[in-house]
A and B are shown apart, each in its own frame.
Chain A
Amino acid sequence: DAGVTQSPTHLIKTRGQQVTLRCSPKSGHDTVSWYQQALGQGPQFIFQYYEEEERQRGNFPDRFSGHQFPNYSSELNVNALLLGDSALYLCASSLSGGFTNEKLFFGSGTQLSVL
């Protein structure tokens, strides 16, 4: 059973460009959350998708947007990249219903470098 998979593993972009990161959740999971982990920091919640809709959002600007597909996979898009967007982007999946979000499974992340 594959866990949470993310692609690409590494990415280099320049300021002002746009980037798309991808995540496939663990088999059987229907909810995907995205976190940003800057160097030397803990992960920060960006947003969460369930039933193809954004359900919750952290304190991130509108340049950060996402999408969830019918097969539950998800994309994170960042427009007008800034140097400060350089970070590890982690995807986590879970199964909705009840108090199940404590059983989060994380991917290995995409390391984004903005030059």
Chain B
Amino acid sequence: AQTVTQSQPEMSVQEAETVTLSCTYDTSENNYYLFWYKQPPSRQMILVIRQEAYKQQNATENRFSVNFQKAAKSFSLKISDSQLGDTAMYFCAFMKRDSGNTPLVFGKGTRLSVIA
């Protein structure tokens, strides 16, 4: 079974600064996806960024980037130029890469507050 661990329950960052959220995972699988989801007060899970484990290049999406260390089973999210709208819960998630639909396994989340 896969597990996802987010060791930072809460974090805060000044507006326009950079913050890094940590995530580690445990799996015996070799092919999988890793995700960061954002959950604002509206409660809807919004995909922030996705990484395929078979790709060595770290994924980037505008101000969001990841540091994927497959051997260490580490998957951190860096948010640059933080904005007030980035305030939310952030969840790291794992998905086995398989034909058909496999479920997501989530961590417990990190609450990020962006301070003006």
Contact = CB atoms under 8 A, between A and B. Distances in A.
Nearest to A40: B108
A89 to B, nearest CB: 10
Interface residues of B, number: 26
Nearest to B40: A108
Contact of B107 (A42, A45, A104): A42
Nearest to A43: B106
B61 interface: no
Contact of A101 (B46, B95, B108): B95
Interface residues of A, number: 30
Nearest to B98: A99
Interface in A58-90: 58, 88, 90
A100 B108 CA distance: 25
B102 A101 contact: yes
Given A102-B50, A106-B44, A108-B42, A44 B33 contact: no
B75 interface: no
B109 A56 contact: no
A33 B42 CA distance: 19
A98 B97 CA distance: 10
B42 to A, nearest CB: 6
B107 A50 contact: no
Contacts of A98: 99
A88 B43 contact: yes
13 contacts: A42-B108, A43-B106, A45-B104, A48-B101, A56-B102, A96-B101, A98-B99, A99-B98, A101-B95, A102-B50, A106-B44, A107-B44, A111-B43
Interface of B: 4, 33, 35, 42-47, 50, 91, 93, 95, 97-109
Interface of A: 31, 33, 35, 40-45, 48, 50, 55-56, 58, 88, 90, 92, 94, 96, 98-102, 104, 106-109, 111
The 3 closest A-B CB pairs, nearest first, are A42-B106, A45-B103, A106-B45
Given A101-B102, A109-B43, 18 more contacts: A40-B109, A41-B108, A42-B93, A42-B106, A42-B109, A45-B103, A48-B101, A50-B101, A58-B103, A88-B43, A90-B43, A92-B45, A98-B99, A99-B97, A101-B95, A101-B100, A104-B104, A106-B44
